[in-house]
Structure 1
Amino acid sequence: MFSLAPSMKYYLYAYPTDMRRSFYTLSGMVTNLMGRNVQDGDVFIFINRLCTSMKILHMECGGLVIYHMKLESGSFTLPVFDESTNTFQTNWQDLMMMVRGVSADGKVKKKRWEKPSKRP
């Protein structure tokens, strides 16, 4: 069940992440590198080096959940980070724009896979 909402706090990790990491290693990164507690109910976003894969870690009532998105074409556009921190607080709208490939100014749409149209 997809239960992310605009009212939640979203944190984007500032460095490339190995997408082979799973629940325990990602939650360890949240605690040790981002200085946050995964059990607070916040949403933590990790992107790989090529910006083609994203993992989202979130604590729900039943336990930890990972959402994983791998782009077939194109790449994610990341915000500019402050060098003094390992994390970037973002919001629901920015996450949705990143997933859909829309730039911050809304003018540029990055390439994304689209379902082929059916021919009659």
Structure 2
Amino acid sequence: MILHLTTLLVFQLIGEIIARVLGLPLPGPVIGMALLFGTLMAVPRLATAITPTTRVLLAHLSLLFVPAGVGVVGHLDRFGTDGAALATAIIGSTALAIIVGAASFVGIKRLVGASHD
């Protein structure tokens, strides 16, 4: 299992390296996943070998969402009393994060002197 996880992480690392070295506007993990897919198509033996590990990962992926669900259920009564304020805070902070992210991107683009396409 450790070897198979290492294989997955190595492909992600290769994708990150390719994305950064070539300056591609594509996330490294996506490139790594495409390379892994190509490799699995070319070497079906590798696909057979890592299948059990990937099934375990996918089967337990939902555990990442459990803490958020527990938090919502644990404070369900607060939605009745503070629902409007919570909705405003969530929507406002999301909008603010998008605005700050876009402004940061524009500022960095100007800083490095990239041309407008």
State TM-score, norm by structure 1. 0.19
> Is the strand fraction higher in 1 or 2?
1
> Is the helix fraction higher in 1 or 2?
2
Query: Bigger radius of gyration, 1 or 2?
Result: 2
State TM-score, norm by structure 2. 0.19
Which one has more relative contact order, counting CA pairs under 8 Å at least 6 apart?
Answer: 1
